[in-house]
Structures are given as C-alpha cells and as structure tokens.
Copies of this chain bind each other. A is one copy, B any other.
Amino acid sequence: MALTREQVVGTAVGILSDFGLADLSMRRLARELDVQVGALYWHVKNKQELLVDVAARLLGGIDAGVMHPGAPADPGAARAAVERLARAVRAALVPVPDSAEVVQLAQTMQPAALRPLTRLRDLLEEAGVPPARSAWAQHLLLNHILGSVAAQQDRAVLEEAGTERGGPDLGEEAFAWGVDVILAGVLGVREPSPRTA
C-alpha cells in the first residue's frame, strides 16, 4: 500500500516523542518507514511543513470538553475555561521532548493550524480582554506555557545527564502561579467566580 501523509506525520510524532527533535531527521524518518528519503518529499513540501503538522497533531488530542465552543459564557466561566485550556495544552506537550520548540515554529509559520491556541484567544475575549489586546494576551500566555514546558523538560534532561544545577522547581505549581499572575494582570485580581450562582 502507498505511503500516506498521515503515516509520515504519525511516525514523525513517534520519533519526536521517543527520541527528541535532534533525532527527527528526514532520513531517520524515511528509514523508519522503509522508504527512500526522496519519497517523503512527495507527501510533504519540506521539513518545516511537516513540523507544523506534527505540532497540530500534538495539540489535536486536547479534549473537546476543554475546548467547549458554544454559547458565549459569562466572564467568570470563560476565565476558568482559559485556565483549564492552558493546563490541557501544557499537559499535552510536557511528555513530548522539544515539543515547545516545534509548537513555536508552527505558531509562527501557520498560527491558524493550531486550533487550541486560537481558541485560547477567543476565550480570553469572552473573559473580558478587549479585542485590541487579545492577541497580545494570547502571546503572553502562550510564551508562559511554552517556556514552562521547555524549562521542565530541560531540567529533566540535565538531571538525567547528571548535571545537577539546583535551581527552583519549575513544574506544575510554578506554571499555575504564572497563569494566575498573567490573568490577574490582564483581567484584574481574581474574584470568587459566581459559578452558576
């Protein structure tokens, strides 16, 4: 049977997950698929385009319940939804090495391809961010998410290599704190959200 683009992307995600971006070469990918390198270029324009698809698939598994598009909710609920979605994005990326780098590349090359991230901007507007600022707020939040993911992964790699460089833990707790700080700065201090009150 003929190779498909989905197969190519899927195998790329596999290599990335198991070995990291340094090992995700077109040649390695071809070897894994039992084809010659040139074959890949029939299914994909170049490596960058492939990585955009990889990023989209990494974020594609985010639960529909977390995205929950629908009737515009009240600001308090939207703010909670932003927090949930931010956590979901982080959770999807943390287990995949170098995923932050790949997502950043995709976000610059084809932002529309990453639905959960455009959804983040929509939710921010629903939560009360003026449209003129929502793209800025989205970037602020995304930089925090990706930076947090990268920091945690680098830390794990350095520890594995025996390079114990102390430093504070930058895990889930720091992440949640950062989201709170950003939303407090953007939306004002948190008020007890009147959940369906």
State the A residues within 8 Å of B (CB).
Answer: 104, 108, 111, 133, 135-137, 139-140, 142-144, 146-148, 150-151, 154, 158, 165, 167-168, 170, 174, 177-178, 180-186
Contact = CB atoms under 8 A, between A and B. Distances in A.
A15 to B, nearest CB: 22
Contact of A178 (B108, B140, B174, B183): B140
Contacts of A184: 184-185
Contacts of A158: 108
Contacts of A142: 147
Contacts of A148: 139, 143
A183 B133 CA distance: 17
17 contacts: A104-B150, A108-B154, A111-B165, A111-B167, A133-B177, A136-B177, A137-B181, A139-B174, A143-B143, A143-B144, A143-B148, A146-B147, A181-B185, A183-B185, A184-B184, A184-B185, A185-B186
| Oligomer: number of copies | 2
A3 B172 CA distance: 47
Contacts of A136: 168, 170, 174, 177-178
Contacts of A183: 185
A99 to B, nearest CB: 15
A136 B182 CA distance: 12
A102 to B, nearest CB: 13
